[in-house]
Amino acid sequence: MKKLIVLSLSALLFACGGEEKKEDSKEKKETKSKKISGFSGAEYSFSDSSVEPRYARSWSVSVNGSKVTFIIRSYEDILIEEKFDLNQEQANLINDVVTNLEGIDDLKHNGESGSTAEGLTIYSGKEVVAEAYWNEGMNPSITEYGNAMKSLVPNFDELMESTRINGPIVFLSDNLPEDLNLEEFNAVAEKYDFRVVPDSESEADFRKKTNELRNKLMILVRGEDWRQKFESETGNSLADLNI
Protein backbone atom coordinates (compact mmCIF):
# COMPACT_ATOMS: atom_id res chain seq x y z
CA MET A 1 0.00 0.00 0.00
CA LYS A 2 1.34 3.38 -0.97
CA LYS A 3 2.18 5.54 2.04
CA LEU A 4 1.56 9.26 1.88
CA ILE A 5 3.57 11.88 3.77
CA VAL A 6 1.09 14.32 5.23
CA LEU A 7 1.39 17.70 6.88
CA SER A 8 -0.09 18.52 10.27
CA LEU A 9 -3.77 19.32 10.15
CA SER A 10 -5.04 22.63 11.42
CA ALA A 11 -6.03 22.58 15.07
CA LEU A 12 -9.37 23.98 13.90
CA LEU A 13 -9.97 20.76 12.00
CA PHE A 14 -8.69 17.93 14.18
CA ALA A 15 -9.35 18.63 17.82
CA CYS A 16 -7.03 15.77 18.76
CA GLY A 17 -4.46 16.45 16.05
CA GLY A 18 -0.92 17.58 16.61
CA GLU A 19 2.22 15.85 17.79
CA GLU A 20 2.01 13.32 20.60
CA LYS A 21 4.66 12.66 23.17
CA LYS A 22 7.50 10.53 21.84
CA GLU A 23 7.09 7.96 24.58
CA ASP A 24 3.38 7.54 23.82
CA SER A 25 3.98 7.28 20.08
CA LYS A 26 6.63 4.61 20.54
CA GLU A 27 4.39 2.58 22.83
CA LYS A 28 1.49 2.75 20.37
CA LYS A 29 3.63 1.67 17.45
CA GLU A 30 4.79 -1.34 19.44
CA THR A 31 1.39 -2.48 20.67
CA LYS A 32 -0.94 -1.04 18.02
CA SER A 33 -3.74 -1.82 20.44
CA LYS A 34 -4.05 1.35 22.48
CA LYS A 35 -6.25 4.26 21.58
CA ILE A 36 -4.80 6.80 19.15
CA SER A 37 -4.90 10.13 20.94
CA GLY A 38 -2.87 12.32 18.59
CA PHE A 39 -2.79 12.25 14.79
CA SER A 40 -2.65 14.61 11.83
CA GLY A 41 -3.66 12.54 8.81
CA ALA A 42 -5.27 9.31 7.74
CA GLU A 43 -5.67 7.04 4.72
CA TYR A 44 -7.97 4.15 3.85
CA SER A 45 -7.50 1.93 0.80
CA PHE A 46 -9.31 -0.89 -0.92
CA SER A 47 -7.33 -3.18 -3.23
CA ASP A 48 -9.32 -5.14 -5.77
CA SER A 49 -8.74 -8.80 -6.57
CA SER A 50 -6.55 -9.88 -9.48
CA VAL A 51 -8.85 -9.53 -12.48
CA GLU A 52 -8.36 -8.07 -15.95
CA PRO A 53 -7.26 -4.40 -15.90
CA ARG A 54 -10.51 -3.36 -17.59
CA TYR A 55 -12.40 -4.63 -14.53
CA ALA A 56 -9.94 -4.01 -11.66
CA ARG A 57 -10.85 -0.99 -9.53
CA SER A 58 -8.87 -0.18 -6.41
CA TRP A 59 -9.35 3.09 -4.55
CA SER A 60 -8.08 5.15 -1.65
CA VAL A 61 -9.18 8.14 0.40
CA SER A 62 -6.61 10.19 2.28
CA VAL A 63 -6.80 13.25 4.50
CA ASN A 64 -3.88 15.65 4.24
CA GLY A 65 -4.24 18.95 6.05
CA SER A 66 -7.61 20.40 5.06
CA LYS A 67 -7.75 18.40 1.81
CA VAL A 68 -9.26 15.03 0.95
CA THR A 69 -7.77 13.10 -1.98
CA PHE A 70 -9.70 10.34 -3.71
CA ILE A 71 -7.94 8.06 -6.20
CA ILE A 72 -9.32 5.26 -8.38
CA ARG A 73 -6.81 2.90 -9.97
CA SER A 74 -6.63 -0.08 -12.23
CA TYR A 75 -3.52 -1.69 -10.78
CA GLU A 76 -0.88 1.07 -11.05
CA ASP A 77 -2.80 3.19 -13.58
CA ILE A 78 -4.57 6.18 -12.00
CA LEU A 79 -7.95 6.62 -13.67
CA ILE A 80 -9.34 9.39 -11.46
CA GLU A 81 -7.79 11.68 -8.87
CA GLU A 82 -10.10 14.19 -7.21
CA LYS A 83 -9.51 16.60 -4.34
CA PHE A 84 -12.12 17.95 -1.93
CA ASP A 85 -12.10 20.38 0.99
CA LEU A 86 -12.44 18.92 4.48
CA ASN A 87 -15.05 20.77 6.52
CA GLN A 88 -15.31 20.93 10.31
CA GLU A 89 -18.09 18.36 10.58
CA GLN A 90 -16.10 15.87 8.51
CA ALA A 91 -12.96 16.55 10.53
CA ASN A 92 -14.84 15.86 13.75
CA LEU A 93 -16.15 12.60 12.29
CA ILE A 94 -12.68 11.39 11.31
CA ASN A 95 -11.31 12.47 14.68
CA ASP A 96 -13.98 10.38 16.44
CA VAL A 97 -13.52 7.21 14.38
CA VAL A 98 -9.72 7.32 14.50
CA THR A 99 -9.53 7.88 18.24
CA ASN A 100 -11.96 4.98 18.72
CA LEU A 101 -10.13 2.49 16.50
CA GLU A 102 -9.63 -0.87 18.18
CA GLY A 103 -8.02 -4.17 17.30
CA ILE A 104 -5.62 -2.91 14.65
CA ASP A 105 -3.17 -5.61 15.68
CA ASP A 106 -5.82 -8.24 14.88
CA LEU A 107 -6.00 -7.20 11.22
CA LYS A 108 -4.12 -9.75 9.14
CA HIS A 109 -3.56 -10.61 5.52
CA ASN A 110 -3.57 -14.34 4.88
CA GLY A 111 -1.02 -14.01 2.10
CA GLU A 112 -3.40 -15.26 -0.56
CA SER A 113 -2.25 -13.83 -3.88
CA GLY A 114 -4.86 -11.94 -5.87
CA SER A 115 -7.42 -11.51 -3.11
CA THR A 116 -9.12 -8.24 -2.18
CA ALA A 117 -7.60 -6.36 0.74
CA GLU A 118 -8.00 -3.21 2.78
CA GLY A 119 -5.46 -0.92 4.36
CA LEU A 120 -5.20 1.95 6.80
CA THR A 121 -2.45 4.33 7.78
CA ILE A 122 -2.67 6.94 10.56
CA TYR A 123 -0.07 9.72 10.77
CA SER A 124 1.19 12.13 13.36
CA GLY A 125 3.21 14.66 11.42
CA LYS A 126 5.64 12.57 9.37
CA GLU A 127 5.45 9.62 11.72
CA VAL A 128 3.26 6.58 11.07
CA VAL A 129 1.27 6.02 14.27
CA ALA A 130 -0.65 2.96 13.09
CA GLU A 131 -0.96 0.95 9.91
CA ALA A 132 -2.46 -2.31 8.74
CA TYR A 133 -3.11 -4.25 5.54
CA TRP A 134 -5.66 -7.02 5.82
CA ASN A 135 -8.32 -9.31 4.43
CA GLU A 136 -9.09 -10.91 7.79
CA GLY A 137 -9.97 -9.61 11.26
CA MET A 138 -12.59 -6.91 10.57
CA ASN A 139 -14.33 -5.36 13.58
CA PRO A 140 -17.00 -2.64 14.02
CA SER A 141 -14.57 0.21 14.68
CA ILE A 142 -12.59 -0.65 11.53
CA THR A 143 -15.80 -0.81 9.47
CA GLU A 144 -16.83 2.58 10.86
CA TYR A 145 -13.43 4.02 9.94
CA GLY A 146 -13.67 2.78 6.34
CA ASN A 147 -17.22 4.08 5.96
CA ALA A 148 -16.27 7.46 7.42
CA MET A 149 -13.34 7.88 5.04
CA LYS A 150 -15.53 6.89 2.09
CA SER A 151 -18.15 9.46 3.15
CA LEU A 152 -15.62 12.26 2.58
CA VAL A 153 -16.09 11.78 -1.18
CA PRO A 154 -19.44 13.44 -1.97
CA ASN A 155 -19.95 11.70 -5.34
CA PHE A 156 -18.19 8.41 -4.59
CA ASP A 157 -20.68 6.14 -6.40
CA GLU A 158 -20.84 8.42 -9.44
CA LEU A 159 -17.06 8.55 -9.79
CA MET A 160 -16.71 4.79 -9.40
CA GLU A 161 -19.43 4.16 -11.96
CA SER A 162 -17.76 6.52 -14.45
CA THR A 163 -14.82 4.10 -14.63
CA ARG A 164 -16.92 1.00 -15.30
CA ILE A 165 -16.73 -0.49 -18.78
CA ASN A 166 -20.14 -1.91 -19.64
CA GLY A 167 -20.04 -1.68 -23.41
CA PRO A 168 -18.53 0.63 -26.04
CA ILE A 169 -16.64 3.51 -24.43
CA VAL A 170 -18.38 6.76 -25.36
CA PHE A 171 -16.42 9.84 -26.46
CA LEU A 172 -17.97 13.31 -26.74
CA SER A 173 -17.44 15.44 -29.84
CA ASP A 174 -18.36 19.07 -30.46
CA ASN A 175 -17.04 18.96 -34.03
CA LEU A 176 -18.62 16.54 -36.47
CA PRO A 177 -17.53 17.21 -40.07
CA GLU A 178 -20.46 17.82 -42.42
CA ASP A 179 -19.45 14.93 -44.64
CA LEU A 180 -19.25 12.46 -41.72
CA ASN A 181 -21.90 9.77 -41.56
CA LEU A 182 -21.90 9.22 -37.79
CA GLU A 183 -23.92 6.01 -38.00
CA GLU A 184 -21.43 4.45 -40.37
CA PHE A 185 -18.51 5.78 -38.34
CA ASN A 186 -19.83 4.27 -35.12
CA ALA A 187 -20.51 0.95 -36.83
CA VAL A 188 -16.77 0.77 -37.46
CA ALA A 189 -15.74 2.33 -34.14
CA GLU A 190 -17.75 -0.17 -32.10
CA LYS A 191 -15.63 -2.96 -33.53
CA TYR A 192 -12.80 -1.21 -31.66
CA ASP A 193 -14.89 -0.95 -28.45
CA PHE A 194 -15.85 2.73 -28.62
CA ARG A 195 -18.34 5.11 -30.18
CA VAL A 196 -18.76 8.87 -30.58
CA VAL A 197 -21.78 10.99 -29.63
CA PRO A 198 -22.29 14.63 -30.62
CA ASP A 199 -22.07 17.10 -27.74
CA SER A 200 -21.73 20.81 -28.42
CA GLU A 201 -23.70 22.01 -25.40
CA SER A 202 -21.52 20.96 -22.48
CA GLU A 203 -18.51 22.97 -21.32
CA ALA A 204 -15.22 22.39 -23.15
CA ASP A 205 -13.49 21.49 -19.86
CA PHE A 206 -16.14 18.85 -19.14
CA ARG A 207 -15.71 17.27 -22.57
CA LYS A 208 -11.94 17.32 -22.22
CA LYS A 209 -12.00 15.72 -18.76
CA THR A 210 -14.56 13.12 -19.86
CA ASN A 211 -12.60 12.16 -22.96
CA GLU A 212 -9.33 11.99 -21.03
CA LEU A 213 -10.85 9.43 -18.66
CA ARG A 214 -12.35 7.45 -21.51
CA ASN A 215 -9.03 7.41 -23.32
CA LYS A 216 -7.54 5.82 -20.18
CA LEU A 217 -10.31 3.23 -20.27
CA MET A 218 -9.63 2.55 -23.94
CA ILE A 219 -5.97 1.93 -23.11
CA LEU A 220 -7.05 -0.71 -20.58
CA VAL A 221 -9.09 -2.42 -23.30
CA ARG A 222 -7.03 -1.83 -26.44
CA GLY A 223 -3.55 -0.76 -25.35
CA GLU A 224 -1.53 2.46 -25.55
CA ASP A 225 -1.60 2.57 -29.36
CA TRP A 226 -5.34 2.10 -29.85
CA ARG A 227 -5.81 5.50 -31.55
CA GLN A 228 -2.98 4.97 -34.03
CA LYS A 229 -4.23 1.49 -34.87
CA PHE A 230 -7.80 2.66 -35.39
CA GLU A 231 -6.78 5.56 -37.62
CA SER A 232 -4.29 3.58 -39.70
CA GLU A 233 -6.59 0.58 -40.14
CA THR A 234 -9.78 2.54 -40.92
CA GLY A 235 -8.52 5.80 -42.42
CA ASN A 236 -10.62 7.80 -39.95
CA SER A 237 -9.16 10.71 -38.00
CA LEU A 238 -10.12 11.20 -34.37
CA ALA A 239 -8.41 14.60 -34.28
CA ASP A 240 -11.02 15.89 -36.74
CA LEU A 241 -13.66 15.12 -34.12
CA ASN A 242 -11.78 16.91 -31.32
CA ILE A 243 -11.30 13.69 -29.35
What tens digit of pLDDT does each residue of 26-59 get? 443 443 456 787 899 999 999 999 999 999 999 9
12, part of any domain? no
Q: Which pTM was predicted?
A: 0.85
Residue 143 sits in the same domain as residue 191: no
Q: Is residue 95 located within the same domain as residue 122? A: yes
Establish if 176 belongs to a structural domain.
Answer: yes
Q: Is residue 41 part of a domain?
A: yes
110 and 26 in a common domain: yes
**pLDDT tens figures, 55-87:** 999 999 999 889 999 999 999 999 999 999 999
Query: Are residue 139 and residue 173 in the same domain, yes or no?
Result: no
| 54 and 124 part of one domain | yes
Q: Which domain holds residue 193?
A: 165-241
Residue 94 lies in a domain: yes
132-137: list long-range contacts, CB under 8 Å, 24+ apart. Answer: 132/32, 132/104, 132/107, 133/1, 133/107, 133/109, 134/107, 134/108, 134/109, 135/108, 135/109, 135/110, 136/107, 136/108, 136/109, 136/110, 137/103, 137/106, 137/107, 137/108
Strands, E assignment, 31-149 = 41-47, 58-64, 67-74, 77-85, 117-124, 127-134
> Helix, strand, or coil here: 242?
coil
Domains in the chain, number: 2
Same-domain check for residues 123 and 144 = yes
Q: Are residues 81 and 149 in the same domain?
A: yes
Q: Where does a domain end: 98, 122, 155?
A: 155
Q: What is the pLDDT of residues 132-188, one digit of tens each?
A: 999 988 899 999 999 999 999 999 999 999 999 999 999 999 999 999 999 999 999
Q: What percent of the chain has pLDDT over 70?
A: 86
Q: What is the pLDDT of residues 159-170, one digit of tens each?
A: 999 999 999 999
CATH of the domain at 150: 3.30.1560.10
- Residue 151 CB coordination number (10 Å): 13
